[in-house]
Amino acid sequence: MSAQSLFSGHCSNLITPLYTKLQNPLSSSSYSLSYPCFIRSKHQVSFKLQYFPASERFMSVRRLTCSNSVEKVSNIVSEKEGSKSWVKRRKLAVFVSGGGSNFRSINQACIAGSINGDVVVLVTNKHACGGAQYARDKGIPVILFPKRKDELNGLSSDDLVKVLREFEVDFILLAGYLKLVPPELIRAYPRFIFNIHPSLLPAFGGEGYYGMKVHKAVIASGARYSGATIHFVDEQYDTGRILAQKAVPVLAIDTAEELAARVLREEHKLYVEVTAALCEDRIVWREDGVPLIRSKENPEEYY
Amino acid sequence: MAAQSLFSGFCSNSITPLYRKVQSPLSPSSYSLSYSSCFIRSKHRVSFKLEYFPPSERFMSVRRLECSNNAEKVSNVVPEKEGSKSWVKRRKLAVFVSGGGSNFRSINQACIEGSVNGDVVVLVTNKHACGGAQYARDKGIPVILFPKRKDELNGLSSGDLVKVLREFEVDFILLAGYLKLIPPELIQAYPRSIFNIHPSLLPAFGGEGYYGMEVHKAVIASGARYSGATIHFVDEHYDTGRILAQKAVPVLANDTAEELAARVLREEHKLYVKVTAALCEDRIVWREDGVPLIRSKENPEEYY
């Protein structure tokens, strides 16, 4: 029995089907993809699910592969009923321009095991920035991009794509990277590039809205809330689909620095949470194109 | 001792000075305007301005706050003796609606109950048969049609509207689902006295075209995880005046526009009543950078 299809949204280098027995009246005893959200959708918003009887199990895996990754099907370990699901560790590239506090936070979570991934390379436009120094201390390779006119070290856009492919990068996380990501990279990694922005987008986003400027603008506007937003990256600044947000209050006596500190605390938590979800394939796509995260604790909940 | 001045921001038709003994190290025993406590807390770049007057200058200070067009109203002022309650005249409110008027009803009920120190004295609408207008008639509140449609003779001109509101001695104008743009004449006549409520967290999802269900649909389509209500001062454009208050609500993964709208509407009602109460008790203060704040009723040293 096949119904509609749920597109997990990641045409990634690795296919990770999570086969779990569905607690779901629609599917009595067959294996199926574990996105029970369909049941909860009693309103106009609906999710699409794909059900495959057991015999079609490997067929369904191929249906989800990227056209450029057919050779990787051998990496998949299909699951027998009752055993744990196996998900390969993801490879992350982090892009920074400054201190790199989000990068550090994510790296620590990878090491601690709360993220099923590893930062395999750091990309920066400032070779002496805090993030780059921390990377070198931790033995993480540092790549300079883009190159400045007077520099010979930096890479071209195509070279960058090649290098990231060599590192077998799965996801690219921008964490305070101030340059615009080149179209070549976006085409090479569609729906795999994420950014964190220190406001509740779409407010206080776009060109010129970075760092302390965002917080100053928030305070000057009289807005009573700000926060952090993680979104997919497209060709413009801060316009890709929103994936996660966390709000903080703006107090009457706040300075930009105080607000920045309050938002930064939430940024760290949010980026770790989202990266963990990424590395566990917990991103799903609503029918209207909005990306959602499936809760780890309660797979029937989305946020 | 006079320092800088705190402008309460309201050049309204009636003067209501709140004289209270100030709990402030800066002012040992003199009467002064009750916005002094904020100065102490401002240890950062943001500062408030305060005005201190020794008792002999008390009535002088009242005049300093008056509108140039209201000198004759000084007699309405009742100065306070130390220890007695402060007296604040009930404010007169005009509410503008185009639709059902649920915010209007909510505010009106609060006025009747006494949680808002004011009364809705007139309803203005561009739709004479809308829910808000019907409710107003039921409650004996006069209904004014504005603006007039091309084929109608009943509606008022902008100049007439200003005159009528002045006759009603309106202190504050509250837009509550009014879809027409406010004419410049009205904004000039009532500077910093016109307020609007918008069903999103401005500056997001505001401006022309963003009204009613359109706002909630846009919020959901964007993937934003938060929405809410914003009350702001009104200027010549849609949704661009200074933000006075906001309340956030979560947007859930399976929300429809209607569900989000209902969640936001509940907060709108509470917020507009809270803000109107603050308005009618002169609890709006202005930060130095021009951002309006509300002084908490429970804790006068807190602002939000």
Q: pLDDT tens digits, residue range B76-86?
A: 444 444 444 55
Give the pLDDT score at A239. 84
CA B89 to chain centre: 16
What's the CATH superfamily of A90-293?
Formyl transferase, N-terminal domain (3.40.50.170)
Q: Which amino acid is residue B38, in one-letter code?
A: C
* Residue in chain B lying closest to A227 (CA): B226
Choose, from A10, A197, A215, A268, the residue flagged as catalytic: A197
> How distant, in Å, are the alpha carbons of A93, A145, B14 from that of A148?
21, 8, 64
How far is residue A166's CA from residue A171's CA, in Å, rounded to a whole number?
Answer: 13
Q: At CA B254, angle to CA B249 and CA B259, rounded to 5?
A: 55
Instruction: Kindly report the backbone phi and psi dihedral angles of residue A265, in degrees, each rounded to the nearest multiple of 5, phi listed first.
Output: -55, -45
Q: Do A252 and B304 touch (CB under 8 A)?
A: yes
- A99 SS3 class: coil
Answer yes or no: are the C-beta atoms of B216 and B205 closer than 8 Å.
Answer: no
Distance from CA of A138 to the nearest CA of B (A): 35
Answer yes or no: are the C-beta atoms of B197 and B272 closer than 8 Å.
Answer: yes
| pTM of the model as a whole | 0.74
How far is residue B238's CA from residue A84's CA, in Å, rounded to a whole number?
Answer: 55
Residue range A24-42: mean pLDDT, rounded: 36
Q: Alpha-carbon Rg of chain A, whole angstroms?
A: 20
How far is residue B161's CA from residue B145's CA, in Å, rounded to a whole number?
Answer: 9
> How distant, in Å, are the alpha carbons of A55, B41, B65, B270 from that of A40?
27, 49, 59, 30
| Domain extent listing, chain A | 90-293
Q: Do A41 and B246 touch (CB under 8 A)?
A: no
Alpha helices per DSSP H over B19-122:
37-41, 58-65, 102-113
How far is residue B8's CA from residue B15's CA, in Å, rounded to a whole number?
Answer: 11
Nearest CB to A244: which of B42, B225, B289? Answer: B225
* Residue in chain A lying closest to B293 (CA): A252
Task: Give the CA diameter of chain A.
Answer: 65
Answer yes or no: are the C-beta atoms of A204 and A218 closer than 8 Å.
Answer: yes
How far is residue A252's CA from residue B35's CA, in Å, rounded to a whole number?
Answer: 14
Alpha helices per DSSP H over chain B:
37-41, 58-65, 102-113, 131-138, 158-167, 184-189, 213-222, 257-280
Mean pLDDT score of chain A: 79
Which one of B254, B288, B291 would you mutate to disrupt binding with A, by most A Cβ within 10 Å of its Cβ? B254
* Residue in chain A lying closest to B291 (CA): A222
Two tokens at B240? 């661009």
How far is residue B254's CA from residue B25's CA, in Å, rounded to a whole number?
Answer: 54
Answer yes or no: are the C-beta atoms of B272 and B107 closer than 8 Å.
Answer: yes
Which one of A47, A200, A292 would you mutate to disrupt binding with B, by most B Cβ within 10 Å of its Cβ? A200
Which one of A194, A209, A234, A253 would you mutate to disrupt binding with B, by most B Cβ within 10 Å of its Cβ? A253
Query: In a structure prediction context, what are the per-residue pLDDT tens digits for chain B, which is 304 residues long?
Result: 433 333 344 433 333 333 333 333 333 333 333 333 333 333 444 444 433 333 333 333 333 333 334 433 444 444 444 444 556 799 999 999 999 999 999 999 999 999 999 999 999 999 999 999 999 999 999 999 999 877 766 678 899 999 999 999 999 999 999 999 899 999 999 999 999 999 999 999 999 899 999 999 999 999 999 999 999 999 888 788 999 999 999 999 999 999 999 999 999 999 999 999 999 999 999 999 999 999 999 999 999 9
Give the pLDDT score at A149. 72
Q: pLDDT tens digits, residue range A66-114?
A: 434 433 333 343 444 444 556 799 999 999 999 999 999 999 999 999 9
How far is residue B278's CA from residue B117's CA, in Å, rounded to a whole number?
Answer: 9
Answer yes or no: are the C-beta atoms of A237 and A207 closer than 8 Å.
Answer: yes
Instruction: Kindly report the backbone phi and psi dihedral angles of residue B107, in degrees, each rounded to the nearest multiple of 5, phi listed first.
Output: -70, -45
> How distant, in Å, are the alpha carbons of A250, B22, B164 from that of B36?
22, 7, 37
* C-beta atoms surrounding A208 within 10 Å: 9
Is A197 one of the annotated active-site residues of the chain?
yes
pLDDT at A277 over 60: yes
- B198 SS3 class: strand
Answer yes or no: are the C-beta atoms of B200 and B210 closer than 8 Å.
Answer: yes
pLDDT at A265 over 70: yes
Nearest CB to A253: which of B44, B224, B252? Answer: B44
Nearest CB to A203: which of B204, B223, B254? Answer: B204
Nearest CB to B256: which of A44, A223, A246? Answer: A44
- A32 SS3 class: strand
